Chain A
Amino acid sequence: MNGKSRTKKTAANLAAVSLPAPQTVPKNKVGETVQDFIDFGGAKVVQAEQQDAQNWLVTATE
Chain B
Amino acid sequence: MRRCVRIASALLAGVLISGCAAPRVSEEQIARVAKDWCMTIRGSQVMPVYPLTEDVLSGDVFLVTTTIQSEQKEFKQRGFLPLPLLVTRLHPSGIEDFYLSSHGTQGRTNPPYFWRFDGTNLETNRLCQMPRAAFPSYQFSTRGGGGLNIAVPIEAIPVAINLAGGKRVEGSVLLSDAYTYGFDQANLQNLLLDWAGRNSDLLEVLSPADGGTNYLRMISRIYLVGGVSVQVNSVGSFAGSASGGADKPVNLPNLDGTNTVEHYTSALASLSSALSTALNAPGGTLKVSSASSRSASLNETFPRPLVVGYLGFDLPVLPGGQIGFPQDTMMRVKGGATHPLPTKPLRYSADSNSTALRAWLREDPANVKKANEWLAKNYSAPNLANVITAGELRDVRKQMVEQLVQPPAKP
Contacts and interface: CB of A to CB of B under 8 A. Distances in A.
B384 interface: yes
Interface of A: 12-26, 29, 33, 36-37, 39-43, 57, 60
A20 B345 contact: no
A22 B375 CA distance: 18
Contacts, number: 98
Contacts of B325: 18, 21
Contact of A40 (B338, B380, B384): B384
Given A25-B348, A25-B389, A13 B383 contact: no
Given A24-B347, A26-B348, A40-B361, A17 B337 contact: yes
B343 A21 contact: yes
A30 B347 CA distance: 12
Contacts of B347: 23-24
B348 A36 contact: no
A23 B348 contact: yes
B388 interface: yes
B118 interface: no
A16 B385 CA distance: 10
Contact of B365 (A13, A23, A24, A60): A13
Given A17-B335, A29-B350, A40-B388, A22 B368 contact: no
Contacts of B361: 39-40
Interface in B373-401: 373, 375-376, 380-386, 388-390
A37 to B, nearest CB: 5
Contacts of B346: 21-24
Given A17-B332, A19-B337, A19-B383, 8 more contacts: A13-B368, A15-B373, A17-B337, A18-B383, A21-B386, A24-B348, A36-B385, A41-B383
Nearest to B381: A18
